[in-house]
């Protein structure tokens, strides 16, 4: 397994691999690799000849310095995971390598970046879009693999690839969960025992809405009220947002759901010393009446 630090050497290697007729799959990460990342790596290996990983904690997508400072980092452990998973190349650049002195160029996917996490974290998706573009240009993969846990991020990446005519396929992988349903996240390490127990409320809220939708409930306000009541059952939980939106455009859902609809949640939990950890999760609701009409 090769570990590369420089953009130029990474581009040269990518060119050699491409000239040899081999396909490259990139899994962009910020490190702190867990079982969810392993699922992305398995997808990459199954779709390409070479599995590449980028490890870079991107400072431009954090809206709070404390959040950036507390983000878990352990490159040696991450490299060990990559070796176990048969990764061929790890691109682990420095901040100066991707953001040279005087850098002033940004990539912004305007409309898709505004709602949900974009509303709560101004500038977040500008940072995401910019760094993903840099990583794709540095590694030049045939395909890039992302998780569905951050549905909005996946939508932003797909849009920027289309808009910038980048020659890369964007692949989404279903959310990987703990046995109790909690979505795997690098931020879960900040949860204490009681907070971790209460964090299961996210998946309970999603499942309650799915059950109601499958049972014929199509009213947007009723479904959201159901979700909010479920979240309120966890005393430590503070709802950031619960919204129903079009899965592709992220436009607000109509007052009565008429087709597949994204339910997106963000919930904050205390993690000591006055700080909070923010967990996100989502699912796509399929109203029963819409399915019957399609049939």
Which strands make up the sheet holding 89-91, listed edge to edge? 2-4, 89-91, 50-55, 24-29, 143-147, 169-173
Contacts of 215 by beta carbon, 8 Å cutoff, 6+ apart:
288
Nearest alpha carbon to residue 134 among 174, 94, 169 = 94
- Give yes or no for a contact between 132 and 157, defined as CB atoms under 8 angstroms apart: yes
3-state SS, one letter per residue, for 79-95 = HHHHHHCCCCEEECCCH
- Give yes or no for a contact between 198 and 239, defined as CB atoms under 8 angstroms apart: no
Segments of 238-295 assigned E as strands: 238-245, 261-270, 276-285
Query: Is 6 in a helix, a strand, or coil?
Result: coil
Distance CA 162, CA 170 (A): 10
Q: Report the DSSP beta bridge partners of residue 277.
A: 269
Neighbours of 197 (CB within 10 A): 14
Distance CA 1, CA 52 (A): 10
From 34, 37, 190, 286, the catalytic residue: 37
Q: Report the DSSP beta bridge partners of residue 285.
A: 261
Residue 142 falls in the annotated catalytic set: no
> Which residues are catalytic, by number?
37
């Amino acid at each position: 397994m090769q570990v590369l630090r420089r953009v130029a050497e990474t581009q040269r290697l990518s060119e050699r691999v491409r000239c040899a007729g081999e396909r490259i799959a990139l899994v962009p990460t910020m490190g702190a690799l867990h079982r969810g990342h392993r699922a992305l790596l398995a997808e990459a290996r199954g779709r390409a000849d070479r599995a590449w990983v980028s490890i870079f904690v991107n400072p431009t997508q954090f809206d709070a310095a404390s959040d950036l400072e507390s983000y878990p980092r352990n490159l040696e452990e991450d490299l060990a995971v990559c070796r176990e998973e048969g990764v061929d190349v790890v691109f682990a650049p420095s901040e100066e390598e991707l953001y040279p002195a005087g850098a002033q160029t940004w990539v912004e996917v305007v409309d898709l970046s505004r709602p949900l996490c974009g509303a709560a974290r101004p500038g977040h998706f500008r940072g995401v879009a910019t760094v993903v573009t840099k990583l794709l240009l540095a590694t030049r993969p045939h395909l890039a693999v992302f998780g569905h846990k951050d549905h909005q991020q996946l939508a932003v990446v797909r849009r920027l690839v289309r808009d910038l005519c980048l020659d890369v396929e964007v692949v989404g992988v279903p959310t990987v969960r703990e046995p109790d349903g909690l979505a795997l996240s690098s931020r879960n390490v900040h949860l204490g025992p009681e907070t971790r127990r209460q964090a299961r409320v996210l998946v309970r809220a999603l499942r309650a809405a799915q059950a109601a939708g499958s049972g014929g409930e199509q009213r947007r306000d009723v479904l959201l009220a159901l979700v909010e009541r479920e979240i309120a059952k966890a005393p430590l939980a503070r709802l950031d947002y619960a919204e129903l939106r079009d899965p592709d455009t992220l436009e607000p859902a109509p007052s009565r759901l008429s087709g597949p609809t994204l339910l997106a949640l963000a919930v904050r939990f205390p993690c000591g010393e006055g700080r909070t950890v923010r967990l996100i999760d989502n699912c796509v609701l399929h109203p029963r009446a819409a399915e019957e009409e399609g049939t």
